[in-house]
Chain A
Amino acid sequence: MKPAPFTRHVPRTVDEVVSALAEFAPLDGRILAGGQSLVPIMAFRMARPAHLIDINEVEGLDRLAVDGDYLSIGARVRHGAFHKPVIDGPLGKLLAFVVSHIAHYPIRMRGTFCGSLAHADPASEWCLVAATLNAQLVVKSVRGERIVDVTDFLEGIMSTSLAEDEFLAEARLPLLPDDTKFGFYEFSRRAGDFAMSAALVTYRLVDGVIADAHVGIGGAEDRARRITEAEDVLNGQVPSPDLFVAVGEAAANAIEPLEDIQTTAEYRCDLVRAVTRRALERSAQ
C-alpha cells in the first residue's frame, strides 16, 4: 500500500506548470492537485506515474471569484471552499448543498473542484454540477489556452478531452438568476460513498410555469449529462407531484445505464427514476 517511486515537480506559476507538463507528460507525468483520488490509486499501484507535477504551490490557482456572469473556480480551489455559500443567490446555495455529499470532511479539505472534473469519475458530484449548469472549462498548455464546453470535456468513464500536455486551470459556472429553483438528490449505500445515481435539477418559474429546465443525471451513465427528454417534460408545465413522476420516468427511459457487480441496468433505471423525482420534490420545497 505504498505508492511507487516518482519524481515530484513543484511549479510556482502556471507557465511553469505547462512547461513541466510539456516536458514530463510524454514521460508518464501527470498533475497532482488534491490527490484524494490519485493517491489512493497510486497506493493500490493501479497508477504509477513517473512524474507528478504538484500544483499545490502555484500562485493564482486558488482564485474563486465572480467574473461578469460566471463563477470562476481555479484549479486549487478545494471542495471545502463551498461549505458555506461562496456567493449570494441560488448558485452559492446549490454548491453548498451539493458539497456535503462529496466524500468526507477531511477529503473535502484537500480535494479540488477542477481535480474532480479532470478525474471524470461518472459518480462525481462536481461533474454533475458542471454538466447540468453548462460549465465552460479553461484548459492550458504551452500551445496556449482553449475554452471547452463541458459536454465536449467529459468523454466517458475517467476520460476527458484533455490532451496529454494540457491541464484544467479553471472551471466557469454560469451564475443562476435569483428566481432559480434547484434540487439535488443522491443515492449511495453509505454517507460519503460513491453515488449510485444522482440528479440535479434547476428551472425558473415564470407566472407559475416552469421555464429553462435543466435536468442532469450523474452516476448512472459513463458520464454526467443533461437529459433533454426529461427537460422537455418539465418546460411549460406547472410543478406537481404527477409531473415530477413523469419527469423521473422520462429520465429513466432516456439513459444508457452503467452495469456493475451490484447494480443491474434495471436497478440503475429505477434509481434514476427515484433520484430525479426526489430532486424535483426538493426543488419545490
Chain B
Amino acid sequence: MSDKTDITLTINGHSHAIRVESRRTLADAIREDCGQTGTHIGCEHGVCGACTVLVNGEPVRSCLMFAQQADGKEIRTVEGLADGDEMHPMQRAFMENHGLQCGFCTPGFLMLAVGVLEREPDISDHDLIDVLSSNLCRCTGYQNIIKAVRAAAVEMRQS
C-alpha cells in the first residue's frame, strides 16, 4: 500500500527526482521532497488557496493534486517569479500597495494572480475580484490585494 514511485517534478525549470507515495500531495512534495518552501500550506482541503501553484500554466490548489499527477508537468512556484534581483511586477505591486502583512497567504495570491493574468491579460476588474475571492487572507482586508493586482495587471499588459 505504501509503495513509492519515482517521479520527476520540474519546478521553475529545475528537475527534482523524488520518490513518493501515491497519497503524497503536490504541496507536500514541493515543500518536503523538493525543499521549495515558498509554497505555503494552510487548510489542506482546498479552501484557503495558500498552496496555489501553476501547473502547465494553470493556477491549481497543490493540496488537491497528488504529486504523482504532476510528474513531467511544468510547475511554477513563488520562487520562480523574480528574475534574479528583479522582482516580478506582481511582487513589486504587492509591496508598493501594502498587499500583505504577515505574508502567509501571499505566495498563493501571487501565483493565482500571475497565472490568471498570463492566461487572460484583458480580464475585467469585476472578474478579477471574482478570481481573488478564491484565496483567503486574514490580515489585509483584501482591498490592498485587489489594488496591487490591478496595478500589476496594467503593468503586465504593457510589457
| In the complex, chain B residues 93-147 whose Cβ is within 8 Å of any chain A Cβ | 112, 116, 130-131, 133-134
Residue ID in chain B nearest A54 by CB atoms: B69
Interface string of B4-45 (1 = CB under 8 A from A): 000000000000000001110100100000000000000111
Residue ID in chain A nearest B21 by CB atoms: A5
Residues of A within 8 A of B52 (CB): 106
Which of A5, A50, A52, A54 contacts B2 (CB under 8 A)? A5
Residues of A within 8 A of B22 (CB): 5-8, 52
- How large, as a class, is the contact surface on chain A? 20 to 34
Instruction: Compute the total of residue contacts between A and B using a CB distance below 8 Å.
Output: 85
Known: A1-B45, A6-B1, A106-B112. A36 touches B59 (CB 8 A): no
Which of B1, B44, B65 contacts A35 (CB under 8 A)? B65
A105 to chain B, nearest CB (A): 5
Contact of B74 with A by CB under 8 A: no
A54 to B5, CA, bound (A): 15
A138 to B20, CA, bound (A): 35
A3 to B67, CA, bound (A): 13
Question: Which of A39-47, A150-158, A164-172 lines the interface with chain B?
Answer: A39-47
B74 to chain A, nearest CB (A): 14
Could you list which residues of chain B lie within 8 angstroms of chain A, going by C-beta atoms? 1-3, 21-23, 25, 28, 43-47, 49, 52, 58-61, 63-66, 68-69, 112, 116, 130-131, 133-134
Known: A80-B58, A107-B64, A192-B133. 4 other contacts (CB 8 A): A3-B25, A5-B2, A107-B46, A109-B58
Could you list which residues of chain A lie within 8 angstroms of chain B, going by C-beta atoms? 1-8, 35-36, 39-40, 43-44, 50, 52, 54, 56, 80, 100, 104-107, 109-110, 190-192
Of the A-B pairs whose beta carbons lie under 8 Å apart in the complex, a sample of 18, sorted by A's number, is: A2-B44, A3-B23, A5-B1, A5-B21, A5-B23, A6-B23, A7-B3, A8-B22, A35-B64, A36-B46, A40-B46, A43-B45, A80-B58, A105-B131, A107-B64, A109-B59, A110-B61, A190-B133
